[in-house]
């Protein structure tokens, strides 16, 4: 998309949301998220119609054969409203950078990191919620958090050797049993109202994930009976409690940051696109997000933070706790010469240090500056980009989000690496759920891109230079 077209579309969307925000501000009582969404949908439907009327026949540019063979990298093919990833700037959630979100979004009492509830509100509405609205969302999710007894039984019957992500996917898919959307669709609901049961399912999905994640964690790693959700606490606190970490306020703060920055990363990554794709068939949010989790479980998507931690531990074991920069540099070179990649460095889109990495680095500098593994991460940050540039191994030699998260979790005692992708999955539900709601509100059609065989491509260009 050209910069001019991108700016025009973003400005149009911001204007539509701003006009709705001014209208809502006249209300004496702050609207709920669903009420606010109902106000926004008509204006956004008209905004999409106007955008298509003005730009619908315009081209993004040529599609290269290499893009078809190369994982569709850079191929503009999706609408994703919650976030846009710029190669030089990083992610923006509804136009806001991560530092802007950290500044603007409501916090927990005594906390300094944004509450994920506020980020979800932002993803859905494009607006920064009030503290009152965020508190109401926390209470709503707590009230929806119980999982059916048969889902509890499914998880309890899973062998502890079954990967936590497989268990996570099973449980989320099984929640389809009580899907409001599936029930409404079977009863013949009007298309214009699809968004309402989708919203209810999306809210139930997010609300129930801590109980699912907590049960998996305790079944696999021990920890006794699962405690109850506290109705007056925020989402991250309750997740920390179910994992057994509520007595560590810094860990709770870390979860608030972690969920916020992992929630969404535009629509082209495997988990986000899978959720949108499956949802386009009018599969309910539980089925759609269950599919997302199966994509997230793949080693090229959700397992990178584990690979980083393993690599760092091997380095620390070989070099000791206080290696010199030259020692680190030599180790990095040995990794490359062995035909391996340096995990946590490079990104399919970004061409600068991932802002999500920087947010975690700043958290570490504030809360754990003397942690030996954090010191090693800092050394790697200073050494690796220069080595990768010298080696010509990466278009982007800078660290991504995975280069830091495992070290933070380990510092507070969450060292069960196979569980890390479950936390990623809890976070990613926010972005996928927000987009599923808007896809149904805007009447998004089923996805059906065109495919070609290698033989067809050769035939197509046989007589062309």
Instruction: Dump pLDDT digits (tens) for 186-204.
Output: 999 999 999 999 999 999 9
CA distances from 184 to 111, 157, 197, 282 (A): 40, 31, 7, 12
Residue 20 has a pLDDT of 44
Q: Which of 325, 385, 379 is nearest to 354 (CA)?
A: 385
pLDDT of residue 101: 97
Q: Is 95 left (phi over 0), alpha (psi -120 to 50) or beta?
A: left
Q: Which of the following is catalytic: 347, 367, 404, 411?
A: 347
- Residue 103, both tokens: 């500044």
Rounded to the nearest 5°, which phi and psi values hold at 281? Answer: -85, 5
Reference 128, options 118, 139, 117; nearest CA is 118
Rounded alpha-carbon distances, angstroms, from residue 26 to 19, 22, 30, 140, 456: 12, 7, 9, 24, 59
Tell me, what's the pLDDT at 28? Answer: 62
Rounded (5°) CA angle 289-294-298: 135
Which of 303, 312, 317 has the alpha carbon at shortest distance from 380? 312
Question: Within the chain, which residues score under 70 in pLDDT?
Answer: 1-28, 393-394, 465
Rounded Cα–Cα distance for residues 419 and 315 (Å): 22
Could you tell me if 254 and 112 are in contact, meaning their C-beta atoms sit under 8 angstroms apart?
A: no
Enter the DSSP assignment of 418: G
Query: What's the alpha-carbon Rg for the chain, to the nearest Å?
Result: 23
Q: For residue 326, what are the CA distances in angstroms to 39, 95, 218?
A: 59, 41, 42
Query: CB 172: neighbour CB atoms within 10 A?
Result: 27
pTM above 0.85, yes or no: yes
- Distances in Å between the alpha carbon of 303 and those of 384, 402, 451? 20, 9, 29
* Active site (annotated) includes residue 347: yes
* Closest C-alpha among 433, 448, 159 to residue 286: 433
Q: How many whole angstroms separate alpha carbon 264 and alpha carbon 427? A: 8
Instruction: Give me the pLDDT at residue 408, please.
Output: 96
Choose among 39, 8, 205, 12: nearest CA to 125. 39
pLDDT of residue 393: 64
Report yes or no: 245 and 252 within 8 Å, Cβ to Cβ.
yes
| Cβ 260 vs Cβ 119: under 8 Å | yes
Q: Report residue 7 as tokens.
A: 């700016």
Residues found in the chain: 465
| CA of residue 333 relative to chain centroid, distance | 32
Mapped onto helix, strand or coil, the DSSP state of residue 399 is: strand
Report how far residue 312's alpha carbon sits from residue 176's, in angstroms, rounded to the nearest whole number: 40
């Amino acid at each position: 998309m050209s910069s001019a077209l991108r700016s025009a579309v973003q400005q149009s969307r911001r204007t539509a949301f701003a006009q709705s925000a001014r209208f809502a501000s006249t209300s004496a009582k702050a609207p709920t998220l669903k009420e606010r969404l109902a106000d926004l949908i008509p204006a956004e439907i008209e905004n999409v119609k106007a955008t298509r009327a003005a730009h619908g026949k315009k081209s993004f540019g040529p599609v290269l054969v290499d893009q078809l063979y190369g994982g569709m990298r850079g191929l503009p093919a999706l609408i994703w409203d919650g976030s846009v990833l710029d190669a030089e700037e990083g992610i923006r959630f509804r136009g806001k950078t991560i530092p802007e979100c950290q500044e603007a979004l409501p916090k927990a009492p005594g906390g300094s990191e944004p509450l994920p509830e506020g980020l979800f509100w932002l993803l859905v509405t494009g607006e920064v919620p009030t503290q009152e609205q965020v508190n109401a969302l926390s209470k709503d999710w707590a009230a929806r958090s119980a999982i059916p007894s048969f889902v509890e039984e499914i998880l309890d019957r899973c062998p502890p050797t079954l990967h936590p992500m497989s268990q996570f996917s099973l449980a989320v898919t099984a929640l389809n049993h009580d899907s409001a959307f599936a029930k409404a669709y079977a009863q013949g609901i009007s298309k214009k109202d699809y968004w309402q049961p989708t919203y209810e399912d999306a809210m139930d999905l997010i609300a129930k994930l801590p109980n699912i994640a907590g049960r998996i964690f305790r079944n696999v790693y021990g920890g006794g009976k699962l405690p109850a959700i506290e109705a007056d606490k925020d989402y991250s606190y309750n997740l920390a409690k179910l994992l057994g970490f509520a007595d560590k306020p810094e860990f709770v703060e870390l979860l608030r940051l972690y969920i916020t920055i992992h929630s969404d990363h535009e629509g082209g990554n495997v988990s986000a696109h899978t959720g949108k794709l499956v949802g386009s068939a009018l599969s309910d949010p539980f089925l759609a997000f269950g599919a997302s989790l199966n994509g997230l479980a793949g080693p090229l998507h959700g397992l990178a933070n584990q690979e980083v931690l393993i690599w760092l531990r091997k380095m620390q074991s070989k070099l000791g706790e206080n290696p010199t920069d030259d020692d680190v540099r030599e180790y990095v070179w040995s990794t490359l010469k062995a035909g391996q990649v340096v995990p946590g460095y490079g990104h399919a889109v970004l061409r600068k240090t991932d802002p999500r990495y920087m947010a975690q680095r700043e958290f570490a500098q504030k809360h754990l500056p003397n942690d030996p593994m954090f010191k090693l991460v800092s050394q790697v940050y200073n050494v690796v980009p220069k080595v990768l540039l010298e080696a010509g191994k990466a278009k982007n030699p800078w660290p991504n989000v995975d280069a830091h998260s495992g070290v933070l979790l380990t510092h507070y005692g969450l060292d069960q690496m196979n569980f890390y992708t479950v936390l990623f999955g809890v976070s990613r539900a926010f972005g996928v759920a927000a987009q599923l709601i808007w896809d149904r509100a805007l009447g998004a059609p089923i996805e059906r891109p065109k495919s070609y065989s290698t033989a067809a491509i050769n035939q197509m260009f046989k007589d062309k230079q």
